[in-house]
A and B are shown apart, each in its own frame.
Chain A
Amino acid sequence: MSGKPRLTYLNGRGRMEPVRWLLAAAGVEFEEVYLETKEQYDKLIKDGFLLFQQVPLVEIDGMKMVQTRAILSYIAGKYNLYGKDLKERALIDMYVEGIADLMQMILMFPFSPPDAKEKNLDSIKEKAINRYFPVFEKVLKQHGQDFLVGNKFSWADVQLMEAILAVEEKIPAVLSGFPQLQVFKTKMSNMPTIKKFLQPGSPRKPPPDAHYVETVLKVFKK
């Protein structure tokens, strides 16, 4: 046992990607096990590894953690990325939950039927530009600091960075009305751990393709 956290998921972004981002941002090395067949998944369930029969699964500090939010909160707490008190944690939680709603739309996008894809893409664009990005643009403008909460790097910054890049993959010019977010994106990209994660060969996964969608449907087939 290496002592490193071990991630079990498909070889793709899905619900595990925010966990990869957060561990990487915290400078924590981790191992990954990739689910490729239904048999592997069924065996994990049979062996009692998955509390609610679902992945993500992260083995960390002697626990078999499931539920993405629980995993992320634990990592944020452990590596001091969760603010200094209850109120900062509340702000981080609000920001992270909002971003998660936007990321959920992106998560589901590859699985939408072909005739719904355009509508769903418009939805993502509309929500990013009218609901989510303006909030963080305003937060950064109002306090003029580098980081979203308490002038200190936190889970909220990592999550926002992930979301910005994910939306840009779909809508390249999406930050054009958001100068603060453009500066934020540059600053985050230059932070050593994030810079490393953004380089080729890192554990960061590419955007989901047809093969990924096929694997998901195959592994989780009822």
Chain B
Amino acid sequence: MDVKRVKDYLYWLYYQYQLVTCSYVLEPWEQSMFHTITVTVLAMVVYTAYVFVPIHVRLALEFFSQIFGPQAEGAVLN
């Protein structure tokens, strides 16, 4: 019973996606083409985020921390 409810909910989500992007009115082969393109673009976006976002975030943090006071190794007087 629970599996059926989950499947119904997933189908309802798919139906909402079809309505929102207007692919509900397309013919089946057009729908396949549209879904392929959408999934491909999304996959590329996810991959790019996975590869580049940590590097960008690390560099940005380093850049901004230099503004608030250079805490480089040679500046600490003892």
A binds B: no
Task: Give the A-binding residues of B (Cβ under 8 A).
Answer: none
